[in-house]
Amino acid sequence: MEKEEIESFQQFILDKSKNGQKANILALVGSGLSVSSGLHTYGNNSDLASNVSWRNYSSIDLATPDAFETNPGLVWLFYAYRRHLALLATPNNGHKILADLSNLTSNLNFLTITQNMDGLHERVHHNSDSLLEFHGSLFEVICTNFNCNYRSFNFNDPLTPSLDVTKYIDSKTMELPKIENISQLPLCPICGTLLRPGVIWFGEALPLYLIDKADEFIIDYNIDILLIIGTSHSIWPTSSYIDLIKNQGGKIAVFNTIRDLELEKLNSTTKVWQFIGDCATTLPEIFNPILINWKNSQ
């Protein structure tokens, strides 16, 4: 990373938060942030849900309401596997920086919109009021009975004996367990109906309240900096926020492993910083001096 670009970015943030004013920052986060925590991206796609590939099953086999209705056992085996891997993962320094920023309410207005479902933001104590999980959470379960509103978060592993991941985690040597009865899967403790993972599948709309919260933040605060972290920003609605913030006069900072050539084209009218490398390394390198400055000024 070029020293001049780093210093330019840091000075911009610090200037925005001088004289009792707050900097306004929106972070768009994709699964590239969690790679250093040991969570790979499926199908080499940084926006995980859009190109699932697991044991030769495609996204149509695993990540749609129809797939769950047709074969809930297979879908639950896949999501139990992902829960297990997420629980084995450890939040990295990139997650920690975002958590620190979310809790500095005296210095900035901050919101993270994450496309990740791995729960790593919560485990590093990201401010829950400043976190929107657009694709849901691996650790939420929801009753499929429309007349029952049961939903809960839990970190049980396995969720049921039949979803014991140790029996099939090695895809080369272990066959998937046979799920022959719905009773082998997670059931609602209230009505006994089958539970589903609390994630957003293809064909399902994002919860309107999440979109509303994101829109309200962008409208209420004139965004100074849009952080694009570990994502290709290709999925709606996160892709639309670039134009919204650009039109507000905001700047853009990219934290990714490759240079974003499309955003680079904006540089003639909108300042775009690109910090190339592992997000778990580049985020602390850029933001730690800013955090130290704010701490020393208090």
Annotated catalytic residues are 135
- Residue 143 labeled ligand binder: yes
- The answer to whether residues 138 and 79 touch, using CB atoms and an 8 Å cutoff, is yes
Q: Report whether 279 belongs to an annotated binding site.
A: no
Binding-site residues: 143, 148, 188, 191
Binding-site residues for Zn(2+): 143, 148, 188, 191
